[in-house]
Copies of this chain bind each other. A is one copy, B any other.
Amino acid sequence: MPWKRRWPGSFVGFRLDKIVVFGVGLIGGSFALALKKAGAAGEVVGIGRSRATLDEALRLGLIDRVGACDAATLGDADLVLLATPVGQMSALMQAMAPHLGPQTAITDGGSTKSDVVAAVRERLPRHAARFVPAHPIAGAENSGAAAALADLYVGRKVVLTPLPENVPEAVARVRDAWTACGATVHEMAPSRHDQVFAAVSHLPHLLSFALVHDLAQRENREEFFRFAASGFRDFTRIAASHPEMWRDICIANKGALLGELEQYQRQLDELRRALQAGDAAALEAVFDEARTVRRAWAEGKLA
């Protein structure tokens, strides 16, 4: 199909006749629902590992039909979204490569970007001009097709990390698709993206998983959990996140995450020494600055 963005700079008439979504869970399913709701999607074809999930996606109206990783499904697609755990993406790209048509734009929903960029260069070198990596900042501790929402991306940020070899039309199509989902689109370099998200997302997830795991090992864990209250509830909400997805994110962003983890461990060492020394002033200084910055952030005065 020809490019459908008839009025550049506007979304009137933005429409993709055929969209293919690999992975019809929270991210992929919500993308499909949002584009359908915006009137921007013709047919949505779903591809996935599990027949049960695909059936559920059909039943929920996330996708119109089930496809396969072949030329019939991919050859004439306007847009392909890879919405699987990032650990699967390299193999998927390899499987897709022979079947992609010359006009298909490709994006992904992975939480890490350097690894996706590396996989594109290795597995899809002939399609790198039209692969525009994306990270929708719309995590939720729920996952799966049943968690998909048409408005998941409304008001959320999506970070694009375009490749130098991307053609402007592909960037525009991917940008327009995420914008049609209701998101605000930002652009960053992949390595900078991974550094920032290691700090503000991947590390907090690791810390939250670690705390719950630590408590879960106690012999009398019921007594601990019985008195856990709202602070614990919020701190550990992300420890209910998808284990496979977060395993893949940690491995994919290993370098930046290790750096963040080591810096955080040094911060904990400092706090431990202050506590051992009974240095109340040092503790209060850390808490006070944290509170000031956390409040400024919540009030939109920092970022």
A binding-site residues for B, Cβ under 8 Å: 87, 137-140, 156-157, 159, 186, 196-197, 199-201, 203-216, 218, 221-244, 246-248, 250-251, 254, 257-258, 261-265, 267-269, 271-272, 275-276, 278, 280, 283-284, 286-291, 293-295, 297-298, 302-303
Contacts and interface: CB of A to CB of B under 8 A. Distances in A.
A222 B265 contact: no
18 contacts: A139-B231, A200-B215, A204-B236, A205-B231, A207-B207, A207-B235, A209-B286, A209-B291, A210-B286, A211-B264, A212-B293, A216-B290, A222-B303, A243-B284, A246-B283, A247-B287, A251-B278, A261-B271
Given A199-B215, A201-B231, A203-B211, 14 more contacts: A200-B228, A207-B268, A209-B287, A210-B268, A214-B267, A222-B303, A225-B302, A227-B303, A241-B287, A241-B291, A243-B291, A254-B276, A258-B275, A268-B268
Contacts of A298: 233, 240
B275 A228 contact: no
Number of copies: 2
Interface majority SS on A: helix, strand, loop or mixed?
helix
A278 B251 CA distance: 6
Contacts of A263: 214
B290 A244 contact: no
Contacts of A231: 139, 201, 204-205, 237-238, 241
Contacts of A289: 213, 216
Nearest to A263: B214
A247 B284 contact: yes
